[in-house]
Protein backbone atom coordinates (compact mmCIF):
# COMPACT_ATOMS: atom_id res chain seq x y z
CA UNK A 1 0.00 0.00 0.00
CA UNK A 2 1.68 3.28 -1.06
CA UNK A 3 2.14 5.97 1.58
CA UNK A 4 2.42 9.62 0.67
CA UNK A 5 4.09 11.61 3.43
CA UNK A 6 4.47 15.34 3.76
CA UNK A 7 6.51 17.00 6.52
CA UNK A 8 4.65 19.48 8.66
CA UNK A 9 6.04 22.92 9.49
CA UNK A 10 8.45 22.96 12.37
CA UNK A 11 7.00 23.75 15.74
CA UNK A 12 8.37 24.05 19.20
CA UNK A 13 7.71 20.32 19.80
CA UNK A 14 10.91 18.24 19.78
CA UNK A 15 9.23 15.47 17.74
CA UNK A 16 8.49 16.15 14.06
CA UNK A 17 4.92 15.51 12.94
CA UNK A 18 4.15 13.61 9.77
CA UNK A 19 0.90 13.51 7.76
CA UNK A 20 0.21 10.07 6.31
CA UNK A 21 -2.22 9.75 3.42
CA UNK A 22 -3.30 6.23 2.45
CA UNK A 23 -4.86 5.46 -0.89
CA UNK A 24 -7.09 2.39 -1.34
CA UNK A 25 -5.59 -0.34 -3.46
CA UNK A 26 -7.73 -2.49 -5.68
CA UNK A 27 -7.55 -6.21 -4.98
CA UNK A 28 -6.22 -8.31 -7.83
CA UNK A 29 -7.62 -11.83 -7.95
CA UNK A 30 -5.13 -14.60 -8.37
CA UNK A 31 -5.34 -16.68 -11.49
CA UNK A 32 -5.65 -19.82 -9.39
CA UNK A 33 -9.09 -18.80 -8.07
CA UNK A 34 -10.63 -19.12 -11.52
CA UNK A 35 -8.89 -22.41 -12.08
CA UNK A 36 -10.35 -23.84 -8.85
CA UNK A 37 -13.94 -23.21 -9.97
CA UNK A 38 -14.29 -26.56 -11.84
CA UNK A 39 -12.79 -28.34 -8.86
CA UNK A 40 -15.32 -26.74 -6.50
CA UNK A 41 -18.17 -27.65 -8.84
CA UNK A 42 -16.91 -31.22 -9.00
CA UNK A 43 -16.78 -31.40 -5.20
CA UNK A 44 -20.37 -30.13 -5.03
CA UNK A 45 -21.57 -32.71 -7.56
CA UNK A 46 -19.76 -35.55 -5.78
CA UNK A 47 -21.18 -34.46 -2.39
CA UNK A 48 -24.71 -34.33 -3.82
CA UNK A 49 -24.36 -37.73 -5.46
CA UNK A 50 -22.97 -39.15 -2.22
CA UNK A 51 -25.91 -37.77 -0.24
CA UNK A 52 -28.42 -39.28 -2.66
CA UNK A 53 -26.59 -42.60 -2.52
CA UNK A 54 -26.74 -42.59 1.28
CA UNK A 55 -30.47 -41.82 1.16
CA UNK A 56 -31.02 -44.64 -1.32
CA UNK A 57 -29.01 -47.09 0.80
CA UNK A 58 -30.92 -46.14 3.95
CA UNK A 59 -34.23 -46.60 2.16
CA UNK A 60 -33.13 -49.97 0.79
CA UNK A 61 -31.97 -51.20 4.20
CA UNK A 62 -35.08 -49.90 5.96
CA UNK A 63 -37.43 -51.57 3.49
CA UNK A 64 -35.73 -54.95 3.13
CA UNK A 65 -34.18 -55.44 6.60
CA UNK A 66 -36.74 -53.55 8.66
CA UNK A 67 -40.20 -53.32 7.11
CA UNK A 68 -40.31 -56.59 5.12
CA UNK A 69 -39.41 -58.94 8.01
CA UNK A 70 -41.66 -56.92 10.29
CA UNK A 71 -44.75 -57.89 8.24
CA UNK A 72 -43.58 -61.53 7.84
CA UNK A 73 -42.76 -61.17 4.12
CA UNK A 74 -38.97 -60.83 3.71
CA UNK A 75 -39.34 -61.42 -0.05
CA UNK A 76 -40.77 -57.95 -0.70
CA UNK A 77 -39.26 -56.17 -3.69
CA UNK A 78 -38.97 -52.53 -4.63
CA UNK A 79 -37.63 -50.56 -7.56
CA UNK A 80 -34.71 -48.13 -7.52
CA UNK A 81 -36.81 -44.97 -7.17
CA UNK A 82 -38.88 -46.40 -4.34
CA UNK A 83 -35.75 -47.00 -2.26
CA UNK A 84 -34.78 -43.33 -2.60
CA UNK A 85 -38.31 -42.28 -1.62
CA UNK A 86 -38.18 -44.59 1.39
CA UNK A 87 -34.90 -43.01 2.49
CA UNK A 88 -36.35 -39.51 2.27
CA UNK A 89 -39.45 -40.63 4.17
CA UNK A 90 -37.21 -42.04 6.91
CA UNK A 91 -35.46 -38.69 7.45
CA UNK A 92 -38.75 -36.81 7.43
CA UNK A 93 -40.00 -39.12 10.16
CA UNK A 94 -37.18 -38.26 12.59
CA UNK A 95 -38.93 -35.39 14.49
CA UNK A 96 -42.02 -37.53 15.09
CA UNK A 97 -39.89 -40.42 16.36
CA UNK A 98 -38.10 -38.19 18.88
CA UNK A 99 -41.43 -36.73 20.02
CA UNK A 100 -42.99 -40.17 20.48
CA UNK A 101 -39.95 -41.33 22.43
CA UNK A 102 -40.33 -38.38 24.78
CA UNK A 103 -44.02 -39.10 25.29
CA UNK A 104 -43.58 -42.83 25.88
CA UNK A 105 -40.25 -42.86 27.76
CA UNK A 106 -39.17 -39.39 28.94
CA UNK A 107 -36.35 -40.86 31.05
CA UNK A 108 -34.73 -42.48 28.02
CA UNK A 109 -35.08 -39.20 26.14
CA UNK A 110 -33.22 -37.33 28.89
CA UNK A 111 -30.43 -39.92 28.98
CA UNK A 112 -29.88 -39.76 25.21
CA UNK A 113 -29.88 -35.95 25.35
CA UNK A 114 -27.04 -36.18 27.89
CA UNK A 115 -25.15 -38.37 25.42
CA UNK A 116 -25.60 -35.62 22.83
CA UNK A 117 -24.83 -32.69 25.15
CA UNK A 118 -21.43 -34.00 26.30
CA UNK A 119 -19.74 -34.16 22.85
CA UNK A 120 -21.53 -30.97 21.77
CA UNK A 121 -19.99 -29.12 24.70
CA UNK A 122 -16.64 -30.72 23.94
CA UNK A 123 -16.75 -29.45 20.35
CA UNK A 124 -17.23 -25.89 21.55
CA UNK A 125 -14.41 -26.12 24.11
CA UNK A 126 -11.82 -28.23 22.28
CA UNK A 127 -8.91 -26.63 20.46
CA UNK A 128 -6.63 -28.80 18.32
CA UNK A 129 -2.99 -28.65 19.33
CA UNK A 130 -0.59 -26.64 17.13
CA UNK A 131 2.83 -28.17 16.40
CA UNK A 132 5.45 -25.95 17.99
CA UNK A 133 2.79 -23.93 19.77
CA UNK A 134 2.32 -23.41 23.50
CA UNK A 135 1.81 -26.44 25.68
CA UNK A 136 -1.67 -27.22 26.88
CA UNK A 137 -2.49 -26.77 30.52
CA UNK A 138 -2.61 -29.92 32.69
CA UNK A 139 -6.41 -29.76 33.14
CA UNK A 140 -6.87 -29.50 29.35
CA UNK A 141 -4.67 -32.56 28.82
CA UNK A 142 -6.63 -34.54 31.41
CA UNK A 143 -10.00 -33.62 29.91
CA UNK A 144 -8.81 -34.37 26.37
CA UNK A 145 -7.57 -37.83 27.31
CA UNK A 146 -10.75 -38.49 29.27
CA UNK A 147 -12.87 -37.49 26.26
CA UNK A 148 -10.87 -39.84 24.03
CA UNK A 149 -11.46 -42.75 26.41
CA UNK A 150 -15.17 -41.91 26.76
CA UNK A 151 -15.55 -41.82 22.97
CA UNK A 152 -14.21 -45.35 22.72
CA UNK A 153 -16.46 -46.52 25.55
CA UNK A 154 -19.45 -44.91 23.86
CA UNK A 155 -18.68 -46.92 20.71
CA UNK A 156 -18.72 -50.10 22.80
CA UNK A 157 -22.07 -48.97 24.27
CA UNK A 158 -23.54 -48.56 20.78
CA UNK A 159 -22.49 -52.04 19.71
CA UNK A 160 -23.90 -53.46 22.95
CA UNK A 161 -27.22 -51.68 22.35
CA UNK A 162 -27.53 -53.04 18.82
CA UNK A 163 -26.90 -56.59 20.06
CA UNK A 164 -28.87 -56.30 23.29
CA UNK A 165 -31.88 -58.56 24.01
CA UNK A 166 -33.83 -55.47 25.11
CA UNK A 167 -33.69 -54.01 21.61
CA UNK A 168 -34.64 -57.36 20.08
CA UNK A 169 -37.59 -57.72 22.44
CA UNK A 170 -38.89 -54.26 21.55
CA UNK A 171 -38.45 -54.69 17.79
CA UNK A 172 -40.82 -57.60 17.15
CA UNK A 173 -42.77 -58.56 13.98
CA UNK A 174 -46.44 -57.80 13.48
CA UNK A 175 -48.53 -59.53 16.18
CA UNK A 176 -51.11 -62.07 15.11
CA UNK A 177 -53.94 -60.30 16.97
CA UNK A 178 -54.94 -56.66 17.22
CA UNK A 179 -54.94 -56.77 21.02
CA UNK A 180 -51.28 -55.72 21.22
CA UNK A 181 -51.14 -53.44 18.17
CA UNK A 182 -50.85 -50.17 20.08
CA UNK A 183 -48.11 -51.33 22.45
CA UNK A 184 -46.29 -53.01 19.55
CA UNK A 185 -46.23 -49.79 17.53
CA UNK A 186 -45.05 -47.80 20.56
CA UNK A 187 -42.14 -50.24 20.99
CA UNK A 188 -41.19 -49.92 17.31
CA UNK A 189 -41.14 -46.12 17.58
CA UNK A 190 -39.18 -46.32 20.84
CA UNK A 191 -36.39 -48.33 19.20
CA UNK A 192 -36.36 -46.00 16.19
CA UNK A 193 -36.24 -42.89 18.39
CA UNK A 194 -33.41 -44.27 20.51
CA UNK A 195 -31.45 -45.24 17.39
CA UNK A 196 -31.92 -41.72 16.01
CA UNK A 197 -30.60 -39.91 19.08
CA UNK A 198 -27.77 -42.39 19.65
CA UNK A 199 -26.69 -41.93 16.03
CA UNK A 200 -26.63 -38.14 16.46
CA UNK A 201 -24.45 -38.52 19.54
CA UNK A 202 -22.17 -40.96 17.69
CA UNK A 203 -21.67 -38.46 14.87
CA UNK A 204 -20.71 -35.74 17.39
CA UNK A 205 -18.28 -38.06 19.17
CA UNK A 206 -16.68 -38.96 15.83
CA UNK A 207 -16.09 -35.31 14.95
CA UNK A 208 -14.81 -34.55 18.45
CA UNK A 209 -12.22 -37.32 18.21
CA UNK A 210 -10.37 -35.44 15.47
CA UNK A 211 -10.31 -32.18 17.42
CA UNK A 212 -8.82 -33.52 20.63
CA UNK A 213 -5.14 -32.92 21.39
CA UNK A 214 -4.35 -36.48 22.51
CA UNK A 215 -1.67 -39.05 21.84
CA UNK A 216 -1.68 -40.76 18.47
CA UNK A 217 -2.22 -44.26 19.87
CA UNK A 218 -5.28 -43.14 21.84
CA UNK A 219 -6.71 -41.28 18.85
CA UNK A 220 -6.29 -44.29 16.55
CA UNK A 221 -7.78 -46.70 19.07
CA UNK A 222 -10.78 -44.59 20.06
CA UNK A 223 -11.44 -43.35 16.51
CA UNK A 224 -11.44 -46.92 15.17
CA UNK A 225 -13.99 -48.00 17.77
CA UNK A 226 -16.32 -45.00 17.41
CA UNK A 227 -16.22 -44.99 13.59
CA UNK A 228 -16.98 -48.71 13.43
CA UNK A 229 -19.83 -48.29 15.93
CA UNK A 230 -21.20 -45.29 14.01
CA UNK A 231 -21.34 -47.30 10.78
CA UNK A 232 -23.23 -50.06 12.57
CA UNK A 233 -25.51 -47.45 14.12
CA UNK A 234 -26.32 -46.02 10.69
CA UNK A 235 -27.46 -49.48 9.58
CA UNK A 236 -29.46 -49.96 12.79
CA UNK A 237 -31.10 -46.56 12.43
CA UNK A 238 -31.91 -47.28 8.79
CA UNK A 239 -33.91 -50.41 9.41
CA UNK A 240 -35.63 -49.34 12.65
CA UNK A 241 -36.55 -45.81 11.56
CA UNK A 242 -37.24 -47.05 8.02
CA UNK A 243 -39.67 -49.65 9.33
CA UNK A 244 -41.42 -47.07 11.52
CA UNK A 245 -41.72 -44.73 8.55
CA UNK A 246 -43.19 -47.48 6.37
CA UNK A 247 -45.77 -48.38 9.02
CA UNK A 248 -46.97 -44.78 9.16
CA UNK A 249 -46.98 -44.25 5.37
CA UNK A 250 -50.28 -44.05 3.53
CA UNK A 251 -51.14 -47.12 1.44
CA UNK A 252 -53.98 -48.07 -0.87
CA UNK A 253 -57.04 -49.92 0.34
CA UNK A 254 -57.92 -52.60 -2.22
CA UNK A 255 -61.31 -54.07 -3.05
CA UNK A 256 -60.53 -57.56 -4.30
CA UNK A 257 -64.20 -58.55 -4.48
CA UNK A 258 -64.22 -61.16 -1.74
CA UNK A 259 -65.31 -58.87 1.11
CA UNK A 260 -66.61 -55.43 0.12
CA UNK A 261 -67.09 -54.34 3.76
CA UNK A 262 -63.56 -55.32 4.76
CA UNK A 263 -61.05 -54.10 2.17
CA UNK A 264 -57.47 -55.25 2.02
CA UNK A 265 -54.53 -52.97 2.74
CA UNK A 266 -51.75 -53.12 0.17
CA UNK A 267 -48.39 -53.79 1.85
CA UNK A 268 -46.17 -54.32 -1.18
CA UNK A 269 -45.34 -56.84 -3.84
CA UNK A 270 -43.08 -59.82 -4.30
CA UNK A 271 -41.84 -61.01 -7.65
CA UNK A 272 -45.02 -63.01 -8.32
CA UNK A 273 -47.60 -61.92 -5.74
CA UNK A 274 -49.45 -58.97 -4.31
CA UNK A 275 -49.10 -58.69 -0.50
CA UNK A 276 -52.09 -57.47 1.49
CA UNK A 277 -53.16 -57.12 5.11
CA UNK A 278 -56.65 -57.98 6.34
CA UNK A 279 -58.46 -58.61 9.61
CA UNK A 280 -60.61 -61.62 10.43
CA UNK A 281 -62.08 -61.84 13.94
CA UNK A 282 -59.35 -59.60 15.42
CA UNK A 283 -56.68 -61.69 13.73
CA UNK A 284 -54.11 -60.02 11.49
CA UNK A 285 -53.62 -61.87 8.22
CA UNK A 286 -50.88 -61.10 5.74
CA UNK A 287 -51.90 -62.72 2.45
CA UNK A 288 -50.25 -63.22 -0.93
CA UNK A 289 -52.45 -62.90 -4.03
CA UNK A 290 -51.76 -63.51 -7.68
CA UNK A 291 -51.51 -60.25 -9.56
CA UNK A 292 -55.07 -59.52 -10.76
CA UNK A 293 -55.76 -57.79 -14.03
CA UNK A 294 -57.80 -54.97 -12.46
CA UNK A 295 -57.68 -53.65 -8.89
CA UNK A 296 -60.24 -51.28 -7.39
CA UNK A 297 -58.99 -48.92 -4.69
CA UNK A 298 -61.19 -47.87 -1.79
CA UNK A 299 -59.13 -45.10 -0.21
CA UNK A 300 -55.86 -44.92 1.68
CA UNK A 301 -54.67 -45.72 5.20
CA UNK A 302 -51.48 -46.53 7.04
CA UNK A 303 -50.91 -49.92 8.62
CA UNK A 304 -51.62 -48.57 12.11
CA UNK A 305 -54.71 -46.66 10.97
CA UNK A 306 -56.03 -49.72 9.17
CA UNK A 307 -55.61 -51.99 12.18
CA UNK A 308 -57.04 -49.44 14.62
CA UNK A 309 -60.07 -48.58 12.46
CA UNK A 310 -60.82 -52.21 11.70
CA UNK A 311 -60.59 -53.10 15.37
CA UNK A 312 -63.05 -50.36 16.32
CA UNK A 313 -65.42 -51.46 13.54
CA UNK A 314 -65.41 -55.04 14.71
Domain identity same for 236 and 262: no
Domain identity same for 180 and 283: no
Mean pLDDT for the chain overall = 83
Domain identity same for 225 and 173: yes
Domain identity same for 183 and 76: yes
Q: How would you classify the pairing of strands 283-290 and 3-7?
A: unpaired
Instruction: Give the domain-ending residue among 248, 263, 280.
Output: 248
Domain identity same for 82 and 65: yes
Separation of first and last alpha carbons in the chain: 87
Q: Is residue 12 part of a domain?
A: no
Q: Is residue 242 part of a domain?
A: yes
Domain identity same for 232 and 298: no
* 300 pLDDT more than 60: yes
Percent of the chain with pLDDT over 90: 41
pLDDT for the residue numbered 310: 55
Domain identity same for 102 and 53: yes
How many domains does the chain divide into?
Answer: 2
Q: Contact at 8 Å (CB) between 255 and 296?
A: yes
**Domain of 70, in residue numbers:** 45-127+138-248
Q: What is the pLDDT averaged over residues 145-170?
A: 92
What gap in Å lies between CA 274 and CA 225, rounded to an integer?
43
Q: Contact at 8 Å (CB) between 29 and 35?
A: no
DSSP 153-202: HHHHHHHHHHT-HHHHHHS----SBGGGHHHHHHHHHHHHHHHHHHHHHH
Q: Is residue 27 part of a domain?
A: no
Q: Is residue 308 part of a domain?
A: yes
Domain identity same for 240 and 259: no
Q: Is residue 80 part of a domain?
A: yes
Q: Is residue 4 part of a domain?
A: no
Q: Contact at 8 Å (CB) between 159 and 232?
A: yes
Work out the pLDDT band at 161, boundaries 50, 70, 90.
very high
Alpha helices in the chain (DSSP H): 31-35, 37-61, 68-70, 80-92, 94-104, 106-125, 138-162, 165-170, 181-209, 216-248, 303-313
Domain identity same for 212 and 244: yes
Domain identity same for 49 and 180: yes
Instruction: Give the domain-ending residue among 248, 270, 289.
Output: 248
Domain identity same for 189 and 280: no
What gap in Å lies between CA 311 and CA 305, rounded to an integer?
10
Q: Which of 115-129, 214-228, 300-314 has the lowest mean pLDDT?
A: 300-314
pLDDT for the residue numbered 186: 93
pTM of structure: 0.81
Each residue's pLDDT tens digit, 253-271 = 887 766 556 778 889 888 8
Q: Is residue 97 part of a domain?
A: yes
pLDDT for the residue numbered 192: 95
pLDDT for the residue numbered 31: 56
Q: Contact at 8 Å (CB) between 66 and 240?
A: yes
Domain identity same for 284 and 297: yes
Amino acid sequence: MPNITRPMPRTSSPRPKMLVVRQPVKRVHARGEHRRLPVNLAIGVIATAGGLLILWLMGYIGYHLGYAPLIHVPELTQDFGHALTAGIRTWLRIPALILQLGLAHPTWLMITFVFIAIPAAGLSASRPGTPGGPRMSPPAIVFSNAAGVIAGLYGVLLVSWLASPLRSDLFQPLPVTTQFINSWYVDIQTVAGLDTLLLIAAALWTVLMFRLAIDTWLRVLSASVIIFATCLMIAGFSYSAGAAAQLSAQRSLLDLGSSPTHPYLWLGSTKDHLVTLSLHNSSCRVQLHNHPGTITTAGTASVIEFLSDSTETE
